[in-house]
Amino acid sequence: ETGVTQSPTHLIKTRGQQVTLRCSSQSGHNTVSWYQQALGQGPQFIFQYYREEENGRGNFPPRFSGLQFPNYSSELNVNALELDDSALYLCASSLAGFPQENHFGPGTRLTVT
Amino acid sequence: AQSVTQPDIHITVSEGASLELRCNYSYGATPYLFWYVQSPGQGLQLLLKYFSGDTLVQGIKGFEAEFKRSQSSFNLRKPSVHWSDAAEYFCAVATKGNYGGSQGNLIFGKGTKLSVKP
């Protein structure tokens, strides 16, 4: 069973730039959720993708967008980066349904300078 | 609004001592509850979950948690802590939010950092 993988591990961007983070879901999982974890905080839900469509969204502005591909992998895109976007971005995959058992990847550490 | 509170930001216990991490939730419907552990620089690993049935649930690494509806609590326990248990622990509740047909998402507490003294 292949777990959730994320790339890159770390990256540093400048304010105003754009970034794309990638996630491969655990084999057999068809739903991907993205979370932002600021330093010293719990993860916060950004959005979820199912059947290649956004299937729920947290309190994040439209400059946070995503994609899901036919193989269930996913991308998180953030435009016009702000300093407060510095965080650990976690991807979680699950099977469709509620409640879900989410399996998390190791995360991507984004630093915005 | 749904929320999860972990009252203890940082706890230090001696190796071999017992551990209890507190979690309180606010959720109008049947709560589906989780405990995750996060080692430094790592993602989240699921320790255990409560969906229904027996209110005492067993998890991995010798952890257990007890769901108490009357107290809106889901405290995590371990009878004897090992140095490798040092990590940050997050309690979470699954919610459907306001997304209509969405499958829902997790609301996390702010976490409790566990340090283990030799």
Task: Name the amino acid, one letter, at A2.
Answer: T
- Chain B residue with CA closest to A55: the answer is B102
Distance, in Å, from the CA atom of B39 to the CA atom of B45, rounded to the nearest integer, reads 9
Work out the burial of residue B12: count CB atoms within 10 Å of its CB; fewer than 13 is exposed, 13-18 middle, 19 or more buried.
exposed
Cβ contact, residue pair A43, B103, below 8 Å: no
- Chain B residues 71-90 with CB within 8 Å of chain A: 90
pLDDT in tens, B30-66: 789 999 999 987 889 999 999 888 999 999 999 999 9
Q: How confident is the model at residue A1 (pLDDT cuts 50, 70, 90)?
A: low
Kindly state the average pLDDT of the residues B101-109.
80
Chain A residues in contact with B103 by the CB 8 A cut-off are 31, 48, 50, 55-56, 94, 96-98, 100
The pLDDT, as a whole number, for residue A70 is 94
Cβ contact, residue pair B104, A31, below 8 Å: no
- With contact defined as beta carbons under 8 Å apart, do B72 and B93 qualify? no
Cβ contact, residue pair B106, A102, below 8 Å: yes
pLDDT in tens, A49-62: 998 999 889 999 99
Does the pLDDT value for residue B98 go beyond 70?
Answer: no
- With contact defined as beta carbons under 8 Å apart, do B35 and B85 qualify? no
The pLDDT, as a whole number, for residue B30 is 78
Between vectors from CA B96 to CA A100 and to CA A95, what angle results, nearest 5°?
20
pLDDT in tens, B56-86: 999 999 999 999 999 999 999 999 999 999 9
- Chain B residue with CA closest to A34: the answer is B105
Per the rule left: phi > 0, alpha: psi between -120 and 50, beta: everything else, A95 is beta
Does the pLDDT value for residue A101 go beyond 90?
Answer: no
Nearest C-alpha of chain A: how many angstroms from B82? Answer: 23
